[in-house]
Amino acid sequence: MTEAHQIPQDTADDRLIVALDVPDALAGLKLAEEIGEAVSFYKIGLGMLTGGGMALANELKQEHGKRIFLDMKLFDIGQTVENAVKGISQYDLDFLTVHGDPHVVRAAKQGAAGKDLKILAVTILTSLERADLDDGLILPGDVPEIVVERAARAFDAGADGIICSPNEAAAIRALPNAAGRLIVTPGVRPAGAESDDQKRIATPASAVAAGADHVVVGRPIWRAEDPRAAARAVVAELRSPQAARPNR
């Protein structure tokens, strides 16, 4: 690679988390190497757990200096969650998701005690809308209202941050107990990208302007003809005036 085509070391922006929703660790590592220094933060989810996901997380963290978001969405009785998080926390990763039920959040925080692992609580999945909640016998009401209430209760239980759609970021950021907490938004799509199975989406700039600390982008980057260029385009948008938070 010639010097003219090298990516500056400061190109990456930690606010962008790229979801490695590819079949296995080998494909994930190949993609990360292709993207190079354009991305510093990766999400590894449940779909890759049996495809070497933990090994990939460890390699990207320890050998490539990347930050890692382990998206496991844990849910179980308290003791089981605590034990699982205690084991995961030994890997020196950065973020871990659990469901936002207060007993789950409290157990996860106990399991992560003494470690830098941030516990992020899932509110309502960005692939769900009111009809899906009805199917699951979830409390009646507008989805945004339920998301904000779940976020508030998760914060009270000690969550370091919240996973929510960009549509609810501003309302969660306005909560009194949101000060100093993280908001991470999946369901982020650059303008013109396909929505796929996401139903509550927004652009990277609008998500950050609404209060998100990090945006998660997957398919629009790893399905792109040039994933590195696609990642750099998202970073450029995150640094644009449109991404500035009002009254900050």
- Which amino acids are annotated catalytic? 73
65, with CB counted inside 10 A (0-12, 13-18, 19+), is exposed
Q: What single-letter amino acid sits at 172?
A: I
234, with CB counted inside 10 A (0-12, 13-18, 19+), is buried
In this structure, the number of other CB atoms found within 10 A of the CB of residue 86 comes to 18
Residue 101 in contact with residue 108, Cβ under 8 Å?
no
Select from 102, 180, 164, 109 the least CA-distant residue to 172: 164
Residues in the chain: 248
Cα first-last separation, the chain: 41
Contacts of 190 (CB under 8 A, 6+ apart): 203, 204, 217, 220, 230, 233, 234, 237
Select from 241, 248, 181 the least CA-distant residue to 213: 181
Residue 200 in contact with residue 143, Cβ under 8 Å?
yes
Strand partners, 217: 18
Tokens 């941030």, residue located:
118
